[in-house]
Chains A and B, each alone.
Chain A
Amino acid sequence: KAGVTQTPRYLIKTRGQQVTLSCSPISGHRSVSWYQQTPGQGLQFLFEYFSETQRNKGNFPGRFSGRQFSNSRSEMNVSTLELGDSALYLCASSAPATNTGELFFGEGSRLTVL
């Protein structure tokens, strides 16, 4: 069974630009959640999608948005990039509908904002 796939793995952007990251969950998983990870900051929850609906949202500004498609693939978008957006963005998929199940993480997309 293929794991969670994130693309691109690495990208460099400049301040003010926007970026779109993609996540393909494990086949059959309907929940996809996104996290921002910076050194020493742990895992900061961005949002979670289930069956194309945003089910939970973290405390990030509106510049961070996401969506989920009917095949469960998900994208997140960051507009008007700031230097502080440089981070590893992880997505995770899970199967159960109740949020209390194992998360399978992708390898992440490492974003550098110059």
Chain B
Amino acid sequence: GENVEQHPSTLSVQEGDSAVIKCTYSDSASNYFPWYKQELGKRPQLIIDIRSNVGEKKDQRIAVTLNKTAKHFSLHITETQPEDSAVYFCAASKRNYQLIWGAGTKLIIKP
């Protein structure tokens, strides 16, 4: 079955710097790759997603890239701010199957 590995488990960056979180997946049939952000004590919320027919997607300071050949996708956050501190989860799925989640990355923004 599908397996999603997420790295690093913890990432600490200086405010204003960029952060990159990477996920790899095993099932080449996976075609949907969302990223969720969970702030402390709050529910996970979708921040960006990408489908397999697209290589990159941007939304302001957030971008996701997908490499189908290597079976990995990454979340890029530029000009990090204190409110970016959270746990980020990646996931992968294919039609009619549930999302398979990564273990999460705790992002710490240092002032």
Which A residues lie at the B interface, using CB under 8 A?
Answer: 33, 41-43, 45, 48, 55-56, 58, 90, 98-100, 102-103, 105-108
Measured CB to CB, the closest approach of chain A to B73, in angstroms, equals: 14
Contacts of B51 in A (CB 8 A): 100
Contacts of B45 in A (CB 8 A): 105
Contact present for B43 and A99 (CB under 8 Å):
no
Interface of B is mostly: loop
Contact present for B34 and A45 (CB under 8 Å):
no
Measured CB to CB, the closest approach of chain A to B66, in angstroms, equals: 14
B46 CB–A CB distance under 8 Å: yes
Measured CB to CB, the closest approach of chain A to B106, in angstroms, equals: 9
Residue-wise interface mask of B (37-58) relative to A, using a CB-CB cutoff of 8 A (1 in contact, 0 not): 0000011111001010000000
The 3 A-B pairs of least Cβ separation, nearest first, read A100-B32, A105-B43, A56-B98
Q: List 29 A-B contacts (CB under 8 A).
A: A33-B98, A42-B89, A42-B101, A43-B89, A45-B100, A48-B98, A55-B96, A56-B97, A58-B98, A90-B43, A90-B44, A98-B96, A99-B93, A99-B97, A99-B98, A99-B99, A100-B32, A100-B95, A102-B34, A102-B46, A102-B49, A103-B36, A103-B44, A103-B46, A103-B99, A105-B43, A105-B44, A105-B45, A108-B43
Contact present for A42 and B103 (CB under 8 Å):
yes
* Complex interface residues of chain B between 61 and 103 (CB less than 8 A to chain A): 89, 93-103
A58–B1 alpha-carbon span in the complex (Å) = 12
Interface of A is mostly: loop
Chain A residue nearest in CB terms to B49: A102
Contacts of A41 in B (CB 8 A): 103
Contact present for A99 and B96 (CB under 8 Å):
yes
Contact present for B95 and A98 (CB under 8 Å):
yes
A76–B89 alpha-carbon span in the complex (Å) = 24
